[in-house]
């Protein structure tokens, strides 16, 4: 298939593009490079377009005549979304509205959308299934939930075939070291621990008194390559599968467990500075596995946290040593 991948120069997008090309798909990366990297857009052709520019977006879709779209492009920093909600509603919601409009104008009717477990808000149960109530606690989560709603409405009005994939914590990097994770600022735990190791500054550990086994927050770390394969599988089943899937391993790890895994993989000791809880951090976010496995035939291959951390560390060393 010929696919347009928005945000294909970003962390998850670029890994997915590589995976899609390896599986015989033709890819056009569409990115404005506001948060992505030119070096990461190394497969397929590239359109430097902002989703907020409806005219250029529609023209790009007309030029390429794609069969489907994968939509990763968004801003995804929770704290920034709280400070600057207008940025998030404009980029994530209006940008997605433009994309859907441009798709309808070009008769492109297949879409896989990057959603997030942030649509659930504070969990009511140990593990989150797709039917868990959706009560986002920040503008980022709201903006994603609004896009899900809009996709649903386009499904009914325009016959869109779409699947929303709600990821838990993306982690790890391409073992081939051709792309990887580089965010600025970095907010994801594993690269933040690496940054602390490299800089010698202590890692801030927010909250040690949660109702979790060791008092620190528990998260479900899903390898970016498993996210990539889930996108391909969802694309192949569009129209025959459900409209929403959680993507997680079903296993949670605490911050302290992740630190221990990093220490084991790197052979270095992580300096930690314990501080107060951050507002808006739920104690535990773990996916209830099942639906994606059952319907899409998706089984996460990366279930060993140390292997995930090792893949990220190799990338980190290569990228930051060369930088
Ligand atoms: N990283 C995670 O753990 C995680 C978890 C859940 C959901 N998600 C979602 O996955 C997607 C990808 O996340 P990521 O970590 O790869 O982010 P990223 O910032 O690395 O990539 C996003 C890409 O989108 C591009 N982009 C942003 N706004 C754009 C616009 N208006 N026009 C064109 N391009 C634009 C950026 O330049 C960047 O290349 C996002 O939608 C995010 O909400 C990520």
Q: What's the 117 CA to ligand 1 centre distance in angstroms?
A: 14
Q: Name which residue sits closest to atom 29 of ligand 1, judged by CA.
A: 73
Nearest to 41 by CA among 53, 52, 31, 54: 31
Q: What's the 92 CA to ligand 1 centre distance in angstroms?
A: 9
Q: In this predicted model, what pLDDT tens digit does every residue of 15-56 receive, in sequence order?
A: 999 999 999 999 999 999 999 999 999 999 999 999 999 999
Q: Is the CB of 11 under 6 A from ligand 1?
A: yes
**Residue 323's pLDDT is what?**
54
In order of 50, 95, 101, the CA distances from 57 in angstroms are 7, 10, 10
Phi, psi angle pair for 17, to nearest 5°: -60, -45
Phi, psi angle pair for 187, to nearest 5°: -120, -10
Q: Is the CB of 136 under 6 A from ligand 1?
A: no
Q: What's the 73 CA to ligand 1 centre distance in angstroms?
A: 5
Please tell me the distance from the alpha carbon of residue 142 to that of residue 292, in angstroms, as a whole number. Answer: 23
Of 71, 74, 100, 245, the one to substitute when testing ligand 1's pocket (max ligand atoms within 8 A of C-beta) is: 74
**Residue 197's pLDDT is what?**
95
Q: Name which residue sits closest to atom 26 of ligand 1, judged by CA.
A: 73
Distance, C-alpha 171 to centroid of its chain: 9
Please tell me the distance from the alpha carbon of residue 150 to that of residue 260, in angstroms, as a whole number. Answer: 42
Q: Name which residue sits closest to atom 18 of ligand 1, judged by CA.
A: 10
CA torsion angle 134 69 140 146 (round to 10): -50
Catalytically active residues, by annotation: 140
Q: Is the CB of 114 under 6 A from ligand 1?
A: yes
| Cα within 13 Å of Cα(135), Cβ side | 7
**Residue 289's pLDDT is what?**
75
| Beta pairing class for 161-167 and 45-48 | unpaired
Q: What's the 263 CA to ligand 1 centre distance in angstroms?
A: 29
Handedness of CA 27, 31, 37, 39 (dihedral sign): positive
Of 9, 16, 35, 78, the one to substitute when testing ligand 1's pocket (max ligand atoms within 8 A of C-beta) is: 35
For the chain, how big is the Rg over CA atoms in Å? 19
Angle at 10 between CA 79 and CA 32, to 5 degrees: 90
**Is 2-168+222-247's fold the same as 189-219+250-288+301-322's?**
no
**Residue 211's pLDDT is what?**
93
Candidate CATH numbers 2.40.128.50, 3.40.50.720, 3.40.50.1440, 3.40.50.970; the one for domain 2-168+222-247: 3.40.50.720
**Residue 279's pLDDT is what?**
78
Residues of the chain with pLDDT under 50: none
**Residue 239's pLDDT is what?**
87
- End-to-end CA, the chain: 36
Is 12 within 8 Å of 34 (Cβ atoms)? no
Q: Is the CB of 34 under 6 A from ligand 1?
A: yes
Determine what percent of the chain is predicted with pLDDT higher than 90: 93
Residue 5: DSSP 8-state: E
Q: Is the CB of 248 under 6 A from ligand 1?
A: no
Which pTM does this prediction carry? Answer: 0.97
Is 194 within 8 Å of 211 (Cβ atoms)? no
Q: Which two tokens stand for residue 82?
A: 């709280």
**Residue 241's pLDDT is what?**
85
Cα maximum dimension of the chain: 56
Of 76, 171, 222, the one to substitute when testing ligand 1's pocket (max ligand atoms within 8 A of C-beta) is: 76
Q: Where are the domains of the chain?
A: 2-168+222-247, 189-219+250-288+301-322
Report the nearest atom of ligand 1 relative to the CA of 36: 39
In order of 25, 139, 190, 280, 285, the CA distances from 169 in angstroms are 26, 18, 10, 16, 9
Q: What's the 284 CA to ligand 1 centre distance in angstroms?
A: 23
**Residue 210's pLDDT is what?**
94
Please tell me the distance from the alpha carbon of residue 277 to that of residue 275, in angstroms, as a whole number. Answer: 7
Is 70 within 8 Å of 16 (Cβ atoms)? yes
Considering the segment(s) 189-219+250-288+301-322 as one domain, its CATH architecture is Alpha-Beta Complex (3.90)
In order of 38, 39, 213, 222, 258, the CA distances from 302 in angstroms are 27, 25, 23, 7, 15
Q: In this predicted model, what pLDDT tens digit does every residue of 91-138 receive, in sequence order?
A: 999 999 999 999 999 999 999 999 999 999 989 988 999 999 999 999
């Amino acid at each position: 298939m010929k696919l347009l991948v928005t945000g294909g120069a970003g962390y998850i997008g670029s890994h997915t593009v590589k995976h899609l090309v390896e599986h015989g798909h033709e890819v056009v990366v569409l990115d404005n490079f506001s948060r992505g990297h030119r070096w990461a857009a190394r497969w397929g052709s590239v359109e430097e377009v902002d989703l907020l520019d409806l005219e250029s977006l529609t023209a790009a879709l007309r030029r390429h005549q794609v069969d489907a779209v994968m939509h990763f492009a968004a801003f995804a920093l929770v704290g920034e979304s709280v400070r600057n909600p207008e940025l998030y509603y404009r980029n994530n919601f209006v940008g997605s509205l433009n994309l859907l409009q441009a798709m309808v104008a070009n008769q492109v009717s297949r879409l896989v959308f990057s959603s997030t477990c942030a649509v659930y808000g504070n969990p009511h149960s140990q593990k989150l299934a797709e039917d868990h109530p959706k009560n986002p606690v920040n503008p980022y989560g709201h903006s994603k939930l609004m896009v899900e709603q809009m996709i649903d409405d386009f499904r009914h009005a325009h016959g869109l075939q779409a699947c929303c994939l709600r990821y838990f914590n993306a982690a790890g990097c391409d073992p081939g070291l051709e792309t990887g994770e580089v965010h600025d600022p970095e907010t994801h735990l594993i690269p933040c621990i690496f940054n602390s190791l490299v800089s010698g500054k202590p890692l801030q550990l927010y909250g040690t008194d949660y109702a979790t086994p060791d008092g620190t927050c528990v998260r479900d770390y899903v390898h970016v390559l498993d996210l990539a394969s889930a996108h391909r599988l969802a694309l192949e089943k569009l129209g025959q599968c459900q409209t929403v899937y959680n993507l997680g391993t079903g296993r949670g790890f605490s911050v302290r467990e992740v630190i221990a895994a990093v220490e084991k993989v790197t052979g270095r000791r992580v300096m930690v500075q314990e501080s107060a809880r951050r507002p808006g951090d739920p104690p535990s976010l773990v996916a209830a596995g099942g639906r994606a496995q059952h319907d899409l035939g998706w089984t996460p291959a990366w279930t060993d946290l140390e292997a995930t951390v090792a893949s990220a560390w190799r990338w980190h060393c290569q990228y930051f040593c060369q930088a």
